[in-house]
Amino acid sequence: MIVYVLNPGSTSTKLGVATVTANNKGVTAVVEKLELQHSTLKARASDHGAAALSLDGTALDAPVGLDSEAMEAIRAFIKQASTEWAKPDAISCRAGLLGPCAAGTYRVTKQLAQYSLLHKNGIHASNYGARLALEWAEMFGVPAYLVDPPTVDELLPEARVTGVPYLSRRSRFHALNARAVARRAATEIGKRFEDSTIVVAHLGGGSSVTSFQNGRAIDTTGALLDEGPFSTERAGTLPIEGLLDLAYSMPREILEFQLRRQSGFQGMLGTGDLKLIESRAVQDQPTREAINAYVHQIAKNVGAYAAASPGRPDAIVLTGGAARWTSLMQRLETRLGWIAPVVVIPGELEMEALAEGAGRVLYNLEAALDFQIPI
């Protein structure tokens, strides 16, 4: 099977053509990838609210900001790639912030594409993906799919509870990559993902630690302004009193920007470039101290989510951009190896995960899901 893959981001968009084959372990995708750097793809005021869109499937060309410079560049990129690749059996795209849903592969409909553009659950470039995937699919008369949205919510009831009765924990994490690397790790240790207990630490610009039990994400730190270890730019879990002091000292939008973009290594060291941080650590004590804290927070969170699993984990997976940092991974393996075997998968498998999600549907290994649009 041939699957075209689309992964839109705020300043770059990745395309891929994948050959997906079925085997006794499920499906495997080999992806040829292209990447386009473009101007910032962001929402306009007209992107919000029911007044801008019809959800009945009749207003596919509604004016929702899709005439931007970035969008036109992406469309041209898609058209060019389409002339060079073999005809696809399906299109598979990274999902946007759809709201709580089950893991799996979802059919893209006009209604789903338009709902995603409302940005009801947060503004993100990936919200444009469903619309682009639908357009691409219509070029070839094939189905379009979204795979494992970042708002996959399968938490245990007890994982939702906080000490504040009117505040619940929610699930927003690196679901696409976390599930993909958990599947691969399960295969490496000779088990099925659906029969395994696996803790995944995704370590990149944002971080998330997630506990999987029998294929279900039963608890997660979250990946936005939620919990977990700090990252290259984000703050991670904070002491409540200190956060309250910050919150009362500046406007919310400024604080949110600082916690999202000016914290972590960026805030402490003035850079989120992990290669530069690694090189500076040789002679700079503050850099070494920040790295020590990073290791400590990752280990602490992985340990907590291992303990929150119903049984001892079969594997711990370290993934994301920071997993390319060999000496850091070695330190974490030393800290965590007593809990379970540690599997390091550098970078991310998002493009492969998108292709394989569609492949499982095409080979009838899974049923495609229909997203229920909230009324």
Place of tokens 């994982």: 159
**Confidence (pTM):** 0.90
pLDDT in tens, 184-224: 999 999 999 999 999 999 999 899 999 999 999 999 999 88
Domains of the chain: 2-153+351-362 (3.30.420.40), 175-346 (3.30.420.40)
Strand blocks (E) in the chain: 2-8, 12-23, 26-37, 90-94, 105-107, 144-147, 197-203, 207-213, 216-220, 315-320, 342-346
pLDDT in tens, 11-21: 899 999 999 99
pLDDT in tens, 287-310: 999 999 999 999 999 999 999 999
pLDDT band at 44 (very low <50, low <70, confident <90, very high): low
Closest CA to 342 of 177, 185, 180: 185
